Amino acid sequence: MRAELEDLIAETVVWLIGAAHERGLGSAVILLPDEDDYDDALWRFVAAQPGVVVFGTDPYGFDRGADEDKNRSSVRRWSERTVAATAGLPARAMGWPQAFRVPAGREPELIWGAAEMEAAGIETVAAWAFGGCAAMSGLASADPDAVSSALERAFADDAIGVRRLARHAN
């Protein structure tokens, strides 16, 4: 049953990308990082669909332990996989650091996470969760102001080269 459901979801996503493309719209596809289900050929197939302008992943790590080396390695691995999936294609590689439910004291991970993404070749880094999700009780970070401050530092020119990334956005 799971295989049939996964095939249906995949077919639906491909159909949606195609329908948007027929209407002159581009699609952004962000896949969850899952070691058990990762398939490099599938990622490449999705990224290569006509109309996919952005392809990426969101290697969220705050649900894992606070092992910085392990978490850096995970962010780098998934960023490299994203870059490999988009190599030579029109789709830009995108990464999404987790900016919600950030535990107190782990805000610096947003800074080095964005830097790891950029170092791996990610062209666009974005963060969802304005203000550390302070307005959303279920997703709020422990210290929303510290999350906002860390994002500001992460997206500063000297942290990950936003100017270089911005050139690809146009």
**Which strand ranges, in their side-by-side order, compose the sheet holding 92-95?**
27-31, 52-57, 92-95, 124-125
* pLDDT, average across residues 143-165: 74
Average pLDDT taken over every residue of the chain = 88
Checking if the pLDDT of 30 tops 90, the result is: yes
Per-residue pLDDT band for 163 (boundaries 50, 70, 90) equals very low
pLDDT of 168 strictly over 80 = no
* Mean pLDDT confidence for 157-165: 48
With a pLDDT cut of 70, the percent of the chain lying above it is: 92
Q: Is the pLDDT of residue 155 over 90?
A: no
Dist. CA 80–CA 92, nearest whole Å? 13
- pLDDT of residue 23 exceeding 70: yes
Mean pLDDT of 54-76: 91
From the list 123, 124, 111, the residue with the least C-alpha distance to 152 is 111
pLDDT of residue 157: 57
Average pLDDT rounded to a whole number, residues 107-125 = 92
Geometric angle at alpha carbon 101, from 133 and 113, rounded to 5°: 100
Task: Return the structure tokens found at 161.
Answer: 């080269």
pTM, to two decimals: 0.86
- Kindly tell me if the per-residue pLDDT of 166 is higher than 80: no
